Amino acid sequence: REAGKTYQDAIDEVREAVDFLRYYANLSNVVIPNQREPLGVFVCISPWNFPLAIFTGQVAAALAAGNAVIAKPAENTSLIAYRATQLLIDAGIPCGLLQLVLGEGANVGNELTSDSRVDGVAFTGSTQVAKKIKHNLLNNNNNARLIAETGGLNAMVVDSTALSEQVTRDVVDGAFKSAGQRCSALRILLIQED
């Protein structure tokens, strides 16, 4: 309700969040301990359009890699992040290892990404904000890593073997679900001329 999702979009997002948790839990047991040392403190800044899945994915990835996490969700979907954090702590994530910080991105996000004690930032959102985060990290002589997902230019290729009914449904879903406000939204449609 907080994110304005349809019932099916909400179910799909819960499923995606569970997939992220399973994936990173398995990865942490097999791959990550043998590859590298944790960075330290990771700030995870998640968007409003996938307030559970991306929030959970960022947090789970950073925790699985052995980092402490400061999670800062989008201000308009902070209740979802609050409940997700409660569930993660109830599931056994130590409270001190995962901290939730709420507030406006322009203020709280700016402060977090300007702090020299931050060792990494995972961000999903606009290119403009990603550049601001990079600027903040560089200004503080911080060697922090930045992982930024800022959208994509997604295409669908339709050849002559496609069923027009299926293509129509997939084009509408791909372009307009979540009101088109997703990084994976269909933006280019390529159809075989014949």
* 32 band by pLDDT with thresholds 50, 70 and 90: low
Answer yes or no: are the C-beta atoms of 35 and 9 closer than 8 Å.
no
Q: What is the pLDDT of residues 139-188, one digit of tens each?
A: 887 789 999 998 777 889 999 999 989 999 999 888 887 666 777 788 89
Answer yes or no: are the C-beta atoms of 189 and 171 closer than 8 Å.
yes
* 46 band by pLDDT with thresholds 50, 70 and 90: very high
Q: Which residues are catalytic?
A: 149, 183
pTM across the whole model: 0.85
CA dist 65 → 27, 73, 75, 155 (Å)? 9, 20, 26, 32
